[in-house]
C-alpha cells in the first residue's frame, strides 16, 4: 500500500495563477483533510471531507476550494494564488470510530511558493 500520496511535491506559482493539489489514499478511509503548515503556526486545517461528495470548511478556508468526487481522492484548488499562500500543504486521511477520532495518516507534503 502506498498510503497517502500527494502531487506535486514542489511548485512555484506567480501571483494570480491557479493550481490544483491532488491527494490520493489507498486505505479506503472515509475522512480526508487538507492542512497548511507555516513556521510558528503549526498545522492548520483548511478543508476536510467526511465522505465522497461532501466537504466542509476548516480553520483557514479562504482562498481555497476542494472537491471529493471519489472516495480515494481529495483535491485542493487555489483559484488565484497569493504570496500569503506560500506554505507546506499536507493531506491526511482517517477512518470513523465509535469511541472517538482515530489517528490521521499524512502524505509527504507539497511545498508551494507564490512569488
Partner 1 sequence: RKEVEQDPGPFNVPEGATVAFNCTYSNSASQSFFWYRQDCRKEPKLLMSVYSSGNEDGRFTAQLNRASQYISLLIRDSKLSDSATYLCVSSIGSGNTGKLIFGQGTTLQVKP
Q: Is 106 a residue that touches partner 1 (CB under 8 A)?
A: yes
Q: How far is the CB of 2 from partner 1 (least distance, A)?
A: 13
Q: How far is the CB of 24 from partner 1 (least distance, A)?
A: 15
Short-list 34, 8, 2, CA closest to 104: 34
Q: Is 102 a residue that touches partner 1 (CB under 8 A)?
A: yes
For the record, the C-alpha cell of 94 comes out as: 482517517
Longest alpha-carbon distance in the chain: 45
Q: Is 7 a residue that touches partner 1 (CB under 8 A)?
A: no
Can you tell me which of 1, 14, 28, 40 binds partner 1, judged by CB under 8 A?
40
Q: Is 34 a residue that touches partner 1 (CB under 8 A)?
A: no
Rounded Cα distance, 80 and 2, in Å: 31
Residue with cell 499524512: 106
Amino acid at each position: 500500500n502506498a498510503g497517502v500520496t500527494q502531487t506535486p511535491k514542489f511548485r512555484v506559482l506567480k501571483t494570480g495563477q491557479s493550481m490544483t493539489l491532488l491527494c490520493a489514499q489507498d486505505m479506503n478511509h472515509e475522512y480526508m483533510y487538507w492542512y497548511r503548515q507555516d513556521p510558528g503556526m503549526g498545522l492548520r486545517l483548511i478543508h476536510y471531507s467526511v465522505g465522497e461528495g461532501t466537504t466542509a470548511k476548516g480553520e483557514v478556508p479562504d482562498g481555497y476550494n476542494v472537491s471529493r468526487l471519489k472516495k480515494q481522492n481529495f483535491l485542493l484548488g487555489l483559484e488565484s494564488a497569493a504570496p500569503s499562500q506560500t506554505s507546506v500543504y499536507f493531506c491526511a486521511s482517517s477512518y470513523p470510530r465509535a469511541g472517538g477520532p482515530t489517528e490521521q495518516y499524512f502524505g509527504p507534503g507539497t511545498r508551494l511558493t507564490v512569488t
